[in-house]
Amino acid sequence: MSQTTVESHYTRGDLESALFQALEAAGLDPAHLHPDDLAPVDEFHIRGAEATREMIHLAGFSAEDHVLDVGSGIGGPSRQLARQCGCRVTGLDLTSEYCALARTLAERVGLAKRVEYRQGDAQAMPFEDNAFDGVWTQHMSMNVADKDSLYGEIRRVLRPGGRLAMYEIVAGRGGTVHFPVPWARSPEISHLTTAENLEVDLRARGLEVRYWNDATSPAAAFFSAMLDRVRENGPPPLGLHILLGPDMREMAANMLRNLEEDRIRVVQVVMEG
Ligand SMILES: C[S@@+](CC[C@H](N)C(=O)[O-])C[C@H]1O[C@@H](n2cnc3c(N)ncnc32)[C@H](O)[C@@H]1O
């Protein structure tokens, strides 16, 4: 399916103003933001900032590294990486609206010197061979049909001996996914691979496993707690519904079902080579 369709799934059109209004409704001043203020919205993956912190610890990037974040969204993970590791991060994302907002937010929190964002397709990356010491990606590959191109591009831009950190949703054994989910409202733009195929395909490109963990159970606990909170209090002023719209609640309920019925799983992966 075309990249335009994936981009239109994520594009809202008025995201920057919607986010700044929501920040004000949450009692924050959009002109004086701390990076952590944005975490309920800019960490667009299961378990949010906590999952990013875990992956940063597992990946072990250093201040000298230049890391590529593939599918960087509105940039929460890249900014957290830059802050915690002291490294330089380039984010690549298909969705123009996300790239523009990621740049604005980096400026607002004083990180524009260490993070930059490029619009582009992970299946044909606009970078030189061996350009990065590390590649980082979270919850992106589910939208990519051509896994061969994606893994080939990751290998090509990662220098020999570099490290790949991945936090991904993969297919389980329970059958087809209940839609809508946060990455797709219908099956056309959803392309899940299994954990087994992911490992085989990355090893075939010379990457060796340094860490592999199934993180499905904490993912289910995350959605269960989110749904309980929304049932009791309604949606919070700041949350992923600002990115995804009013069907976020239905998406969260489907995510819980998909995880409980083994239709999807979640993996944390670090590979090197
Ligand atoms: C669920 S969001 C995750 C964003 C970010 N990784 C995070 O965790 O906050 C998925 C992101 O992948 C991007 N994406 C999907 N397909 C892509 C592709 N072929 N190339 C680059 N980015 C892509 C989308 O635009 C979206 O920003």
Choosing from 93, 190, 266 the residue with most ligand 1 atoms within 8 A of its CB, the one to mutate for a pocket test is: 93
In this predicted structure, what is the pLDDT of residue 2? 55
In this predicted structure, what is the pLDDT of residue 1? 44
Count of all residues that appear for the chain in the document? 273
Sheet holding 88-93, edge to edge: 115-119, 88-93, 66-70, 132-138, 158-171, 264-272, 208-214
In this predicted structure, what is the pLDDT of residue 211? 98
**The two structure tokens encoding residue 57:** 């610890």
Ligand 1 geometric centre to CA of 137 (Å): 9
Rounded to whole angstroms, the Cα distance separating 122 from 114 reads 21
What domains are defined for the chain?
Answer: 3-272 (3.40.50.150)
DSSP secondary structure letters along 2-29: -HHHHHHHH--SSHHHHHHHHHHHTT--
Residue nearest to atom 17 of ligand 1 (CA): 94
pLDDT beneath 70: ranges in the chain = 1-4
Q: What pLDDT, in 10s, does the model give residues 96-149?
A: 999 999 999 999 999 999 999 999 999 999 999 999 999 999 999 999 999 999
In this predicted structure, what is the pLDDT of residue 3? 60
In this predicted structure, what is the pLDDT of residue 221? 98
210 SS3 class? strand
Specify the pairing of strand 264-272 against strand 158-171: antiparallel
